[in-house]
Structure 1
Amino acid sequence: MASPETIAALRQTLTSESEPLARRYRALFSLKHVASLQPPTDATEPAIEAIAAALFTSSSELLKHELAYCLGQSRQKAAVPYLRRVLENRSEHAMCRHEAAEALGALGFKESLDILKEKRDDPTEPVEVRETCDIAVDRIEWETSEGSRKENLKKSDFASIDPAPPLPLSKDPSIPELESTLLDTSKPLFQRYRAMFTLRDLASPPDLPTAVPAIQALAKGLNDPSALFRHEIAFVFGQLAHPAAIPSLTATLSNLDEHGMVRHEAAEALGSLGDEEGVEETLRRFLNDPEKVVRDSIEVALDMAEYEKRGEKEYALIPETAAA
């Protein structure tokens, strides 16, 4: 188990504005590992409190959005009050509030439905916040329903708690049908996200015969009218780290008219592909990008690329064995 001294040291790094952003990210992922241990340990709540401390003091919107994501992955009810506070605060950046809403959906507690429905139905809220709350409500209602227990879902290669589950298993999954659902803007976002994560799972491992066709289908989602949707496609590409996604991610990052939340996600996805030829050079072109969230993402992505090239086991300040 992580010692109190280890948690305190990681908290110090995470909350220090003088530390390089990439180093703070590594501290965050170390704390996320401790916060997510099952069953919880004596270090669980201190790790959550350390992450939350940075959530209310950091000047980086990018880091704050990642802090919210990590709290959502913890499976711990202790994270809920911090996330509600961010979602309720209209002075917070919409990207952070969207991530707080998504995190509440990932945690899956029915007690979060009140604020999620309130924000979903408030026409004065930013569209990305409303859309995220819509998906989060559907996710909690699905997860707590009888129907979800009867669905036969493929075990994912990814440990993340996703905004939506994949669709139920089919003996012969049709990528064209999944693509049709993915791109159908008349369907609920939750249903389209389910198609998205089904396609993701058909692209892993990368040597599956369905991998490249699934990635090609997902790439079409980068033309969707919803910035939230486009950002999730880029996030999925980062999880997959498949070279077939590089052209789409590069085009997205290079589009200065694209929403910052989408470009930043494309940058970090490229960071996960940092050992592929030309990726690092692409990232370096945007070190002085006019948008701060993109510049910050490039800093983190280049650090991730270096980690990929070195073949390190964990993107963290402490190895997994030290936190267990």
Structure 2
Amino acid sequence: MANESTSPDAQIDNASQTVKALRATLTSETTPLARRFRALFSLKHLACLQPATEDTIPAIEAIAAAFPSPSALLKHELAYCLGQTKNLHAVPSLRHVLEDKDEDSMCRHEAAEAIGALADTSSLDLLRKLRDDASEPDVVRETCEIAVDRILWETSEQRQAEKVKKSDFTSIDPAPPTALSSKEHSIPELKKTLLDTSIPLFQRYRAMFALRDLSSPPDLPTAREAVEALAEGLQDRSALFRHEIAFVFGQLSHPASIPSLVAALSNKEEASMVRHEAAEALGSLGDEEGVEDVLKKFLDDPEVVVKDSVIVALDMAEYERNGEFEYSLIPEPAAAS
């Protein structure tokens, strides 16, 4: 299987017309970025279907075929989507990105996170090597640390023994929510763990996702307090950690997160991976008053990944406003691309 996966064209002849059309859109450098993102999420939908279909492997190959793109934002999203497939066929392409030291560190981070999401035990040695390499960017080392811990947790007896609150979200996250004890979660206790830089990132991430789950749905009595606790994480010293908080806010689409997201996006000294995630999170809140106007101010941002994220975020905002069924090109006819 690994040999097949290293060739993005291996399955194209057997792909359906839908997958071929979506692949053509995704890999086209002349197609508007927002449309390529919609094609990507259409392919992700096909790649994640359970049980697997005849489109599963071709869809994974189609996503991987876009990695030569110069867009760091797109490549980062490709890696994320591959990590959600629950299919180890994606691993060789992800390892290639992770091992390429000339690749943007944001893309390498996402590849490491995706390998962790896939719980690929065969990649543990690589992840540990990069985790322990002081010459690697912090964002890569920290992500590899979390990925190692996630894989070990996923394959442990501890996982079987833990009681974890069922989440409203179907995403495969970098860490599971903090396990439930004999009592319900306490927001102050979770917040204390979230902000404690002396403990492993994996444990802090677990608190993060537990707080996320206490923030959904938005009318939950705990929602605002949990969102406000998460917002304090945007002051953390780790750009990776701040970026994940912004990602969680994008999942939640809670209006209480808007001020902290606007502050992160507006801070030109902030890491671009954090600003980009803040922009996309604001896109998910596009139907809230004033959000689109804020995003439009950054359409000419000097950071390409931020500018590109704003383009995608505004497209997401339009989708939210129009009440479209899914952020994708499906169920449009395949010939449309």
TM-score, normalised by the number of residues in structure 2: 0.93
Return the offset for 1:59.
Answer: 1.2
The root-mean-square deviation of aligned C-alpha atoms, in Å, is 1.4
Partner of residue 269, structure 2 = 257
Partner of residue 150, structure 1 = 161
Partner of residue 85, structure 2 = 74
Equivalent position to 1:177, from 189, 209, 234: 189
Residues 33 and 320, structure 1, Cα contact 8 Å, conserved in 2? no
Alignment of 1:36-185 (within 5 A): 36-55=48-67, 57-170=68-181, 171-185=183-197
| 1:23 aligned onto 2:35 | yes
| 1:278 aligned onto 2:290 | yes
SS in 1 for 2:51: coil
> 1:219-249 CA deviation, whole Å, 9 max, x = no partner?
0000000000000000000000000000000
Q: Distance in 1 between matches of 2:215 and 2:280?
A: 19
Q: Distance in 2 between matches of 1:32 and 1:151?
A: 30
Residues 193 and 207, structure 2, Cα contact 8 Å, conserved in 1? yes
Return the offset for 1:112.
Answer: 1.3
Q: Aligned partner of 2:59: which letter?
A: A
Return the offset for 1:102.
Answer: 0.2
Partner of residue 8, structure 2 = none
Q: Aligned partner of 1:63: which letter?
A: L
Q: Aligned partner of 1:210: which letter?
A: T
Return the offset for 1:3.
Answer: 6.8
Return the offset for 1:168.
Answer: 1.2
Q: Distance in 2 between matches of 1:178 and 1:20?
A: 41
SS in 2 for 1:33: helix
Q: Distance in 2 between matches of 1:153 and 1:179?
A: 18
> 1:8-57 CA deviation, whole Å, 9 max, x = no partner?
000000000000000000000000001111111111100000000001x2
Partner of residue 4, structure 2 = none
Residues 120 and 129, structure 1, Cα contact 8 Å, conserved in 2? yes
> 1:64-109 CA deviation, whole Å, 9 max, x = no partner?
0000000000000100000000000000000000000000000002
Aligned length: 320
SS in 2 for 1:289: coil
Residues 178 and 199, structure 1, Cα contact 8 Å, conserved in 2? yes
Q: Aligned partner of 1:84: which letter?
A: R
> 1:112-139 CA deviation, whole Å, 9 max, x = no partner?
1111111101111101000000000000
SS in 1 for 2:66: helix
Q: Aligned partner of 2:312: which letter?
A: V
Equivalent position to 1:237, from 249, 258, 270: 249
Q: Distance in 2 between matches of 1:3 and 1:133?
A: 33
SS in 2 for 1:54: coil
Return the offset for 1:172.
Answer: 2.7
Q: Distance in 2 between matches of 1:164 and 1:92?
A: 25
Q: Distance in 2 between matches of 1:143 and 1:286?
A: 40
Q: Aligned partner of 2:151: which letter?
A: I
Residues 77 and 107, structure 1, Cα contact 8 Å, conserved in 2? yes
Stretches of structure 2 lacking an aligned partner (at least 5 in a row): 1-13
Gap change, CA 1:3 and 1:312, over 3 Å in 2: farther
Residues 212 and 248, structure 2, Cα contact 8 Å, conserved in 1? yes
> 1:228-286 CA deviation, whole Å, 9 max, x = no partner?
00000000000000000000000000000000000000000000000000000000000
Q: Distance in 2 between matches of 1:40 and 1:320?
A: 22
Partner of residue 23, structure 2 = 11
Residues 76 and 111, structure 2, Cα contact 8 Å, conserved in 1? yes
Residues 313 and 319, structure 1, Cα contact 8 Å, conserved in 2? no
Q: Aligned partner of 2:92: which letter?
A: P
Q: Aligned partner of 1:305: which letter?
A: A
Partner of residue 7, structure 2 = none
Gap change, CA 1:320 and 1:178, over 3 Å in 2: farther
Return the offset for 1:320.
Answer: 9.8
> 1:270-306 CA deviation, whole Å, 9 max, x = no partner?
0000000000000000000010000000000000000
Gap change, CA 1:301 and 1:92, over 3 Å in 2: same
Partner of residue 6, structure 2 = none
